[in-house]
Amino acid sequence: MSVQESKKIVRAFIQQMDQAQLKDVDAVCKASCAQNIHWRGYHPFNEIRDIQTVSEQFWRPLKASFTGLTHRLDVFMSGENMYETPGGTWVVTMGHLMGLFDQPWLGIPATGKLAFLRFCAFHRVDGDKIVETAMYFDLPHLMEQAGLLPFPVQTAAQLVQPGPATHDGLMFDNQPQHEAEKTLAIINAMVSDLGQWQSGLPLEEELARTWHPDMLWWGPTGIGATYTIPRYARQHAGPFRSGFKDRSGTGHICRIAEGHYGGFFGWPNFTAVPTGGFMGMPATEKPGEFRVIDIYRREGDKLKENWVFIDLLHFWKSQGVDILERTTGISTI
């Protein structure tokens, strides 16, 4: 399956889903996706292994709640997975699902106003079907738009997050392969340097090896966004590292790059044990999973922007705190 053919399949799925009436959602899903798709989603959806259930549990309720639901994309890219297992060609979409929040969803009260659900999805295409999807979204951000407060005040800034500063993230056409190789190389170096918290350098020196001095880190609700290496170190990386112990090694299912962009996801990416303080929560001494999607934009030989999706609802539920139930009153599985 060529990269361009895979892009056409995913782009058609997005366009058809945007245009679909509620009664047509099942047909749109089945036309573009394998019957036995492996779909990984943000809590409370988790893993689903058939497309009918994906339609029934995710797409149909979402379309019913958001009038005029549409994808507002900031990044569209594709590439070959650097890992042989599962391998394959993957297409990445990132941006916001936008619509009028007219009916409650997952216990979150409707606002009757424009709302944004920040998301990123990795799709593996085989033949003419999407056979695997990882779709993470910032559900706590939607909760805040509805007037709920799922988390304490965060260390960084809470915003509706923009796309790339360069406005060149929609790569519907193929990009030069040598640029993808440069991007993947700096992402790999960053993971090697920083992903294990073991470089031995002072934090800001570690970061400067692979990050631009004026880096932009677009983190999830509960943590927030931050700007420049010193502020990122102070407002996220430092507090995060000090709030955990026994961090596992990094494990990803897919890592790709195209042009100046790249990213990865894991299920989970790593585990760690809270020692207290992270997001205002006490120590638990329980290992917790971090399911993460990261998307990067390279500028020159450094990483300039990073959009981060962390399933914090899954993490905190593993620690004995059901954020969604506590905030909405609706019990989840």
What pLDDT sits at residue 159? Answer: 82
Q: How confident is the model at residue 192 (pLDDT cuts 50, 70, 90)?
A: confident
Please name the amino acid found at residue 215.
M
Backbone angles phi, psi at 130, to 5 degrees: -80, 120
What pLDDT sits at residue 67? Answer: 98
pLDDT exceeds 90 at position 177: yes
Residue 118 near residue 161, CB atoms below 8 Å: yes
pLDDT tens digit sequence for 33-47? 999 999 999 999 999
What pLDDT sits at residue 288? Answer: 96
User: In whole numbers, what is the pLDDT of the chain averaged over residues?
Assistant: 94
Q: How far apart are CA 190 and CA 156, in angstroms?
A: 22
What pLDDT sits at residue 228? Answer: 98
CATH topology of domain 3-145: Nuclear Transport Factor 2; Chain: A, (3.10.450)
pLDDT exceeds 70 at position 137: yes
Domain range summary for the chain, segments of one domain joined by +? 3-145, 177-328
pLDDT tens digit sequence for 268-289? 999 999 998 888 888 998 999 9
Percent of the chain with pLDDT over 90: 87
The arithmetic mean of pLDDT across residues 232-257, rounded, is 93
CATH topology of domain 177-328: Nuclear Transport Factor 2; Chain: A, (3.10.450)
From edge to edge, which strands make up the β-sheet containing 129-137?
46-48, 33-41, 129-137, 114-126, 89-101, 66-80
Residue 130 near residue 37, CB atoms below 8 Å: yes
Count other Cβ atoms within 10 Å, centred on residue 82: 16
The arithmetic mean of pLDDT across residues 216-237, rounded, is 95
Q: How far apart are CA 259 and CA 78, in angstroms?
A: 10
Residue 89 pairs with which residues in a beta bridge? 80, 125
Token reading at 292: 């993460």
Residue 197 near residue 246, CB atoms below 8 Å: no
pLDDT exceeds 80 at position 210: yes
Q: DSSP string covering 300-313, please?
A: TTEEEEEEEEE-HH
Q: How far apart are CA 68 and CA 114, in angstroms?
A: 10
Q: How confident is the model at residue 329 (pLDDT cuts 50, 70, 90)?
A: confident
- Spatial CA neighbour of 328 closest among 104, 119, 65: 104
Positive or negative: CA dihedral 179, 184, 187, 189: negative
Backbone angles phi, psi at 266, to 5 degrees: -135, 170
The arithmetic mean of pLDDT across residues 182-197, rounded, is 86
Residue 67 near residue 162, CB atoms below 8 Å: no
The arithmetic mean of pLDDT across residues 64-75, rounded, is 98
Rounded to two decimals, the pTM is 0.96
The arithmetic mean of pLDDT across residues 106-127, rounded, is 97
